Amino acid sequence: MKNFIYTLVDYINQLELEYPVKVGIFDDEPSLMVRPVTGSEVIHEYMNGMIDIRLPFEISIKSKDQEVAFNILNEVMNHIKDIGKFLNDESKEHILLNLEMDQIPVFQANEDGYFYYTSKLTADLTVI
């Protein structure tokens, strides 16, 4: 079974943004990343082995251009609401039940010359 985070990365990468998205941590240069955050939980277990699960993630961007960072992350979040169709077409392992997300990226200041923006996404899925 493919871990949902990699399905999420595949979906975002198909948008062909200025920065490809990666799992885990930022690169040394401008980058976009997805990482799991605390709060995942099994919502329901079925007799046939399927489960409903809640998976929270952060999608973050790092760039020296504040406007570019905000716009790229905003574009990702505008498209992420359509991931259910992508899952139906591409993934036979996950069914999207619910999606909650930040509508506006949150700014995080740092003294390294980069601008950081983060949005949170929580997906409720049935894992087949």
Q: Within 10 Å of residue 37's Cβ, how many Cβ atoms?
A: 13
40 Cβ contact list (under 8 Å, min separation 6): 53, 54, 55, 56
What is the pLDDT, as a whole number, of residue 111?
85
Statement: 4-127 belongs to CATH 3.90.25.10 = no
**Where do the DSSP E strands lie in 5-113?**
21-23, 31-36, 41-45, 51-63, 94-101, 106-108
Pairwise CA distance, residues 66 & 45, whole Å: 43
Pairwise CA distance, residues 118 & 33, whole Å: 10
Q: Which residue has the higher pLDDT, 56 or 94?
A: 56
pLDDT band at residue 110 under the 50/70/90 scheme? confident
Helix (H, G, I), strand (E, B) or coil at 50: coil
pLDDT in tens, 22-63: 999 998 999 999 999 999 999 999 999 999 999 999 999 999
- The neighbouring-strand residues paired with 25 are none
Average pLDDT of the chain?
A: 91
pTM exceeding 0.95: no
